Amino acid sequence: MKFFDINNIFFTALDHPVSYLEFFGTAAGAIAVWLSARANIWSWPIGIINVVLSFFLFYQIQLYPDMFLQIFFFITNLLGWWRWTHPQHGEEDVKNELRVSWAPLNEWVAFFMIAIAGTVVFGFFAGNLHKLFPTVFPLPSAYPYLDSFVTVVSIIATYLMVQKKIECWLAWLLADMVATYLYFTKGIFLVGLEYFAFCLIAGFGFWRWRTEFKTYIR
């Protein structure tokens, strides 16, 4: 099980030790996000590899909300894989996959309220995990509220992505910017660089999906 130990170092870059776990988790995540930006169905199975490795990584650096988020991601990767390949009548594109679309405004009002309430509730819970379950979580959660914000917004973004809503990339951009700060602060340099790249890919994904949507109304 040494592969899953963050202290099992693969290489050192710019004086930063990179574990096997961090490297391969980062690589799988980068490939999955790039494929998502191109609306490629293979983003989902490759994403499953990323979330399994990320689960072990975040536990070891006390980003517990991020750790729990990987369980959600595992389930939604399976759901997204099925949803994109099984569009309902009238939802299909030329590849017989779910087509991209915009989310209605009333959903965004609901998502905004969920993001605020979810961050407060989840942040409070994460901040007390080491008191509630000291055997499982011997160290206190690092940045419980910021980490919870990333978790809640990522859940919203994932829901939108499963439904292939264009706005998912705006939600991802917000979550990725905060996550980039967190990961650099926690010393997982390679993951921080990956999430900085995710910010750029989120912009590309928004442009790409919006461009694809315009082809439907010509």
Mention every residue, 6+ apart, whose C-beta is less than 8 A from residue 80.
44, 158, 161, 162
Q: What is the DSSP code (8-state) at residue 142?
A: S
Segment 138-179, tens digit of pLDDT: 888 888 899 899 989 999 999 999 899 999 999 999 999 999
Mean of the pLDDT values across residues 62-83? Answer: 87
pLDDT(192) > 80: yes
Sign of CA dihedral 100, 195, 191, 121: negative
Residue owning tokens 């999955």? 32
Percentage, residues of the chain above pLDDT 90: 44
pLDDT(93) > 80: no
Residue 12's pLDDT is: 86
Per the prediction, the chain carries an average pLDDT of 88
Mention every residue, 6+ apart, whose C-beta is less than 8 A from residue 154.
69, 73, 171, 172, 175
Mention every residue, 6+ apart, whose C-beta is less than 8 A from residue 149.
115, 119, 123, 175, 178
Mean of the pLDDT values across residues 71-88? Answer: 88
Segment 109-135, tens digit of pLDDT: 999 999 999 999 989 988 898 888 888
Length reported for the chain:
218
Residue 91's pLDDT is: 67
